[in-house]
Chains A and B, each alone.
Chain A
């Protein structure tokens, strides 16, 4: 197993290099002149040319990429054209909000999706099964930003149960330790902040989780149905075990192995979908930062945030693969 982990970690390096290359190429080959963007529309040709030389923009593309990687390794992602702050500072300020939303959504999606999938498989062709599969079909067909708006109308505007936007009530922010408000309020014992954060997380969390919930429910139902047909399950029944014991102790573990991969892959979708949810709920995360940066042509910020999300996605996929190999020993012996 250790050899497998080392091999996968080594393979991470070319993948991360490739991801950086794609981001670099997209931003450098297709966008306008960065020097002109930095200096603004009133700059002269001579000023733009001087800045291009200063920034190394006249160097061959491979040299520019090498410099980009070198700066990346030193944590230098350039400066925002809007705020003039280091891009890394902007990313560090916004990233915890996105991670908190993404993981909260993943938790909802996993708990609800797996539960619904298991019950649907056990009670196949029942009313619950049909209802949940229709719900799953709708879940993968509905745009998450539309679902978010509908949730705002119903729960925030009409029923007034939950807040419309934001991450926490103004003035209740907990002392910053990790930037994750739930964790920080737990660590500091600030229950008012924790409750406010949870209330603000519910609507965007559920909106973002809907698609993943549907995928996980369908996948779990499918794998449970495969496992339930196996001989060892029939043997367990023949031995006189109760239905719940057969499902929970014999079927579920094996059925969940492929579901683990799906859950991990959903994190990538959640990180991408957070862009939309954060816009709907004015969530101060990476998604909002990226969209504002695109609309303002602030390419260093766009580059930095896309790269960050891609790196997180790659690392999460690696963790999922390792977890899968741990759960199914056949994988790392192949």
Chain B
């Protein structure tokens, strides 16, 4: 056989790993369902101005607390605003908070975890002790403490939720870096003259992506729940913005006369969080080598 023929046999197409992952993932119908639901939510969030039948901020007091009807499919809230329109626009806020908060946690967590795992010694000790101290707090309580300090609003809520989750990602990255940094290919990368940053970025981090992707997906669902909790307590998104938790908080006073005000935003939160959890579970099963055996 020619050299070219042998290389063809040996060389694995780059996209076969993705195909293998996709084949493994799509066998999990429940995870696929989660992915489809998330796709729909993304379409709703992007197309909110076209899907929402009414202006989500416009009050109409004579129409306040009306039950679901042909005019308002999910009814109106305590200020006469259309609940369906507010839920549709709320999808944008929930997805924004979930994605941005996890992005903060990931970026800082990867940096700290990589530094701690790669350099070890005093760097590792200091970073991990700080992470342990943060993990000593119940996450929601720490987010509330940050909100008390930073002040109310969606941006501060994203920062607070993001900071609180940093230790989880730092620990995952550190653990993975520790297990692979002594491998031959890392030694070889150092030997050919790569800087520490190049070794970490091009050779170490790609091998920790799988657990991070799974954790991040599940982290988005946790972030959405925490954002809803902060909104419910009046600490997160401020009126008149439409955030599902804030809708539950402001509609609480009317649950005896108009229970529909709190029913539909809660269903929206549950469906979104469930979809991310199903997707995260599916990604974990598809990426876990033990499941493939």
Contacts and interface: CB of A to CB of B under 8 A. Distances in A.
B255 A21 contact: no
Contacts of B129: 14, 18
Given A18-B133, A18-B136, A313-B136, A149 B145 contact: no
A291 B233 contact: yes
Given A145-B248, A153-B255, A140 B140 contact: no
Interface of B: 129-130, 132-134, 136-142, 144-150, 221, 225, 228-229, 232-235, 245, 248, 252, 255-256, 259, 262-263, 265-266, 269-270, 273-274, 277-278
Given A143-B225, A145-B229, A31 B149 contact: yes
Contact of B149 (A30, A142, A146, A295): A30
Nearest to A149: B262
Contacts of A322: none
Contacts of B133: 15, 18-19, 21-22
B248 A30 contact: no
B232 A27 contact: no
B141 A310 contact: yes
A294 B230 CA distance: 12
A302 B145 contact: yes
Interface string A41-69: 00000000000000000000000000000
A15 B130 CA distance: 10
Nearest 3 pairs of A and B residues by beta carbon: A272-B138, A30-B149, A146-B266
A272 B139 contact: yes
A70 B232 CA distance: 36
A146 B270 contact: yes
Contacts of B266: 142-143, 146, 149-150
Nearest to B248: A146
Interface stretch (A117-125, A244-252, A256-264, A275-283): A275-283
Contacts of A279: 232-233
Nearest to B252: A149
Contacts of A310: 136-138, 141
B145 to A, nearest CB: 5
29 contacts: A18-B133, A19-B137, A21-B133, A22-B137, A26-B145, A26-B149, A27-B145, A27-B148, A30-B146, A30-B149, A140-B273, A141-B273, A142-B266, A143-B248, A143-B266, A143-B273, A145-B245, A152-B255, A269-B138, A271-B141, A275-B140, A293-B148, A295-B234, A306-B137, A306-B141, A306-B144, A310-B136, A310-B137, A317-B136
Nearest to A290: B144
Contacts of B229: 143, 145, 276
Given A138-B274, A142-B273, A269-B139, 15 more contacts: A18-B132, A18-B133, A18-B136, A137-B278, A141-B277, A143-B245, A145-B229, A145-B232, A145-B248, A146-B266, A150-B262, A157-B255, A157-B256, A293-B148, A309-B138
Given A18-B132, A146-B266, A146-B270, A309 B141 contact: yes
Nearest to B281: A137
A273 interface: yes
B183 to A, nearest CB: 25
B136 A299 contact: no
Interface of A: 14-15, 18-19, 21-23, 26-27, 29-31, 137-138, 140-143, 145-146, 149-150, 152-153, 157, 268-269, 271-273, 275-276, 279-280, 290-291, 293-295, 299, 302, 306, 309-310, 313-314, 317
A4 B118 CA distance: 30
B255 A30 contact: no
B141 A275 contact: yes
B281 to A, nearest CB: 9
Contacts of A15: 132-133, 136
B111 to A, nearest CB: 19
Contact of B141 (A21, A27, A272): A272
Contacts of A280: 252
A29 B145 CA distance: 12
A30 B270 CA distance: 33
A43 to B, nearest CB: 21
Contacts of A29: 149
Nearest to A311: B136
Contacts of A18: 129-130, 132-133, 136
Contacts of B255: 149, 152-153, 157
A22 B144 CA distance: 13
Contacts of B136: 15, 18-19, 310, 313-314, 317
A299 B252 contact: no
Contacts of A149: 248, 252, 255, 262, 266
A278 to B, nearest CB: 11
Nearest to B218: A140
